Amino acid sequence: MAQIEEVSLDKFKHLVSERALTGETMLLNMGPQHPSTHGVLRLLLELDGEVIVNCIPDIGFLHTGVEKNMEAKTYQKAEVMTDRLDYMNTMGNNLAYVMAVEKLVDLDVPARAQALRVILTELQRIASHLVWLGTSGLDLAAMSMFLYCFREREQILDILELVSGQRMMTTYFRPGGVWRDVPVEFEKAVRDFIKIFPKRIDEYETLLTKNPLFIDRMVDIGYLSKETALSYGVTGPTLRASGVDWDLRKARPYCGYEQYDFHVPVLAEGDTYARYLVRIEELRESLKIVEQALNKLPLGPVRSDNRKFVPPPRSEIGVSMEALIHHFKLWTEGFPAPKASIYSAVESPRGELGLFIEGDGGPKPLRMHLRTPSFDNLGVLPEIVKGHLVADLDAILASIDIVLGDIDR
Amino acid sequence: MDKKLEPIVKIIQEKFGAGLEEFRDEVHLSVKAGQIVEALTIMRDEFHFELLSALTAVDYWPQANPRFHVIYQLTSLEKNLSAQIRVSLNGSSPKVGTVAGVYASANWRERELLDMFGIEIEGHPDPRRILMPEDHEGHPLRKDYPLGYEEPQFTFNFDEIDLRKPYAKE
Amino acid sequence: MGVEQKLGNMGVVTTTLETVVNWTRTNSMWPMLFGLACCAIEMMSAQASNYDMSRFGMELMRASPRQSDLMIVAGRVSKKMGPVLRRLYDQMPEPKWVISMGDCASCGGVFNNYAIYQGVDEVVPVDVYVAGCPPRPEALIHGVLTVYEKVKGEKFRDLAKG
């Protein structure tokens, strides 16, 4: 096993200020094991007393080789990898992946499957924001937030388990639809959640939004301007808190998002507090979408009946020779995709989650690239922490809501 | 192709002699490696493509020339458009100019190209590896780099593999 | 069941030093606050309201390896993280235990490739493996209880041998 190399200043000479070379400022290593870095992120800080002069992120401690591994699998099998990227948003990752594959092979999805996809991704978005709220509360010493948020998150995970059999790694969406129809208990479970959750959001807001300690730590901290955000490729709630109205669900509706009535919260302040408010508002909007989608959930099949890409139902295999052949072909060889490339993106809780797939005419992709939102969102961190105190770094890092699995892939 | 995109594509084609491909309503333009900085500057300043959504590469090994395509996926928020610009590079010394001056997000994305594909980025402000350890050899996403697959243990080969496994000491 | 029942009228209880030491170890084990990937979220769930691992004397997660007895390796270990993980292990004071939580930490899981250690036992010695991708909080709690069983069975003479 390799040893940890000693860091010499020479390597970072071009990234730190001249004062660091004379020893006037101090270099401090934060992470990769640190409670407030939300995973295995290493930050090299140049400090003038308590004030951050420069911040150099070092990533790759969770580099998993997902892209290379996906290129070695067929289109159906590669989907399990997407769950484990951004592990707060597994349904959303599945959605991004299946939509990309459907675009590549030109496959239609039935209306019921589309509506189910919307319900489940929005629930997952709520779960993801709850983890963010809980852990960022924890970073600012609001311990009870963590306990409250995880209480509600468990309820969502129960719904996910109900439909897919797994709490986190669902792999429920498949190219051409979803794995199977939802059980009858699904509707009641979601309705129960819709009923209690608005009150719970009010509860969180009572604890935090007007709390003077919380406001002191958040307002005017980590200002991110519109221009910087766009130049650094920042997307999602972080971008919307800087005054840019850009949400792929509105701008380029997919899965029938155009049918639902919701608004995209945008704030112009661009500080940590604005990012907090945007996400809290998104919780309410997501719940609105879930309710509408559930109210008009259409009946019908949940999978495309294009047998070249979607395996036949189990019941058909026993009676139809063709179905058996299709099943066999699909699970041994997979389906071929055209020799062309596509880029398809969805709005994940963290921003634009895009997939670039280039097929080579066979059942395995030639190139699979994941454009993960946290990667670019973290890139802007050095810009926005400059001039703040070390203690503010916690608040800022929590407010851009990074997931290391999403960054390192 | 989107109506609003047509004039933009036409201008880029005339100015750079760019090739054009279309697939599922997506527009893929290809320019030469030397023109990429200028092309992206024009896309950003004149046609409002504010966001560099993705920057990646494709390896066509064993094909040697061109071996790599570098892909710049652009998004315009103002006009709600997407466009892709490709640059092809040969296998012996893949080199492309940095666009970190045009889009700041390219800084890390280009370090990823350097790390994963071994594509040299000319004029990059911080040319270090980003994901793999500094002392790592090879560029993992190249097609001639092995996946690093390790044989899984089953009942019949459990002991045999177990002997080979480098277990850690206390 | 309290100690009162065993005390009887005398106010004295006899046992071996070994049992007492091991009993105290199991009831105040401090795990290291250290998550790698997906499993870390389930580890957080196990600490949070619904599962509440503090029932087993584990409410205190220490962010410093110097203060912890138990390392829960929650998630995949990449080639870049391996040396760091080993250093953290070396910094923990004896006696120490390691739980390898989840498939990725135990055997590489679905990531059979260049970037991931095929089992964290190549980096640090592991006491208990917990299966699942990710394991449910109940599974982790079971893993912790299994470590307790192991701790309760430890003998001083084995420790003296090193």
What band does B32 get if pLDDT is binned at 50, 70 and 90?
Answer: confident
Residue (of A80, A56, A87, A47) closest to A406 by Cα position: A87
The letter for the amino acid at A26 is M
Strand, helix or coil at A206? helix
Contact by Cβ (8 Å): C13, C57: no
Contact by Cβ (8 Å): A312, A323: yes
pLDDT at C161: 66
What band does A97 get if pLDDT is binned at 50, 70 and 90?
Answer: very high
Chain C residue whose CA is closest to B146: C114
Residue A14 contacts B, CB cutoff 8 Å: yes
Residue C6 contacts B, CB cutoff 8 Å: no
C155 or A95, higher pLDDT: A95
- Whether residue C5 is contained in a domain is answered as no
pLDDT at A1: 66
What are the backbone angles phi and psi of residue A378, rounded to the nearest 5°? Answer: -70, -30
Which residue of A58, A64, A86 to mutate against C (max C Cβ within 10 Å)?
A64
pLDDT at B71: 92
Contacting residues of C for A66, CB less than 8 Å apart: 111
Residue with token string 């509600």: A152
pLDDT at C98: 92
- Whether residue C85 is contained in a domain is answered as yes
Partner-chain contact B149 C112, CB within 8 Å: yes
ipTM: 0.89
What is the pLDDT of chain A when averaged over all its residues? 89
pLDDT at A124: 92
In this prediction, residues A240-261 reach a mean pLDDT of 90
pLDDT at C2: 62
What band does A240 get if pLDDT is binned at 50, 70 and 90?
Answer: very high
- Whether residue C42 is contained in a domain is answered as yes
Strand, helix or coil at A151? helix
Q: How many domains does chain C have?
A: 1
What band does C5 get if pLDDT is binned at 50, 70 and 90?
Answer: low
Partner-chain contact C65 A3, CB within 8 Å: no
- Whether residue C13 is contained in a domain is answered as no
What band does A157 get if pLDDT is binned at 50, 70 and 90?
Answer: very high
Question: What's the first-to-final CA gap in chain C, in angstroms?
Answer: 35
Strand, helix or coil at A230? helix
Residues B53-92 as b or e (16 or more Cβ within 10 Å = b): bbbbbbbbeeeeebbbbbbbbbbbbeeebbbbbbbbbebe
In this prediction, residues A95-110 reach a mean pLDDT of 91
Residue (of A286, A310, A323) closest to A190 by Cα position: A286
Residue with token string 């993106």: A345
Contact by Cβ (8 Å): A244, A232: no
Q: Any idea where the domains of chain B sit in the sequence?
A: 3-141
Partner-chain contact A167 C111, CB within 8 Å: no
Contacting residues of B for C108, CB less than 8 Å apart: 150
pLDDT at A122: 93
What band does C162 get if pLDDT is binned at 50, 70 and 90?
Answer: low
Cα separation, A375 vs B112, whole angstroms: 11
- pLDDT above 90 for A266: yes
The H-or-E segment that residue C52 falls in is none
Q: Any idea where the domains of chain A sit in the sequence?
A: 75-305+335-408
Parent domain of C80: 29-157
What band does A284 get if pLDDT is binned at 50, 70 and 90?
Answer: very high
pLDDT at A7: 67
The contact set of A with C (CB < 8 A) is 1-4, 32-35, 39-40, 60-66, 68-69, 80-81, 84, 87-88, 131, 134-135, 146-148, 150-151, 153-154, 157, 167-169, 404-405, 408
Measured from the Cβ of residue C67, the count of other Cβ atoms closer than 10 Å reads 12
- pLDDT above 80 for C30: yes
pLDDT at A13: 79
In this prediction, residues C19-40 reach a mean pLDDT of 86
Domain B3-141 has CATH 3.30.460.80: yes
pLDDT at A273: 92
Query: Quick one: CA dihedral C41, C46, C51, C54, positive or negative?
Result: negative
Contacting residues of C for B146, CB less than 8 Å apart: 114
What band does B3 get if pLDDT is binned at 50, 70 and 90?
Answer: confident
Q: Please state whether the peptide bond connecting residue A32 to the residue before it is cis, i.e. omega within 30 degrees of 0.
A: yes
Encode pLDDT of A288-310 as tens digits.
999 999 998 999 888 888 888 88
Contact by Cβ (8 Å): A386, A69: no
- Whether residue C4 is contained in a domain is answered as no
Residue (of C80, C62, C83) closest to C71 by Cα position: C62
Measured from the Cβ of residue B4, the count of other Cβ atoms closer than 10 Å reads 12
What band does A85 get if pLDDT is binned at 50, 70 and 90?
Answer: confident
In this prediction, residues A216-225 reach a mean pLDDT of 89
Residue (of C54, C34, C23) closest to C137 by Cα position: C54
What percent of chain B has pLDDT above 70? Answer: 100
Cα separation, C127 vs B168, whole angstroms: 12
User: Residue C53 belongs to a domain with what CATH number?
Assistant: 3.40.50.12280
Q: From the CA of B130, how many Å to the nearest CA of chain C?
A: 11
pLDDT at C146: 92
Contacts of A93 (CB under 8 A, 6+ apart): A82, A83, A85, A86, A348, A353
A75-305+335-408 topology per CATH: Cytochrome-c3 Hydrogenase; chain B (1.10.645)
Contact by Cβ (8 Å): A106, B24: yes
The letter for the amino acid at A217 is R
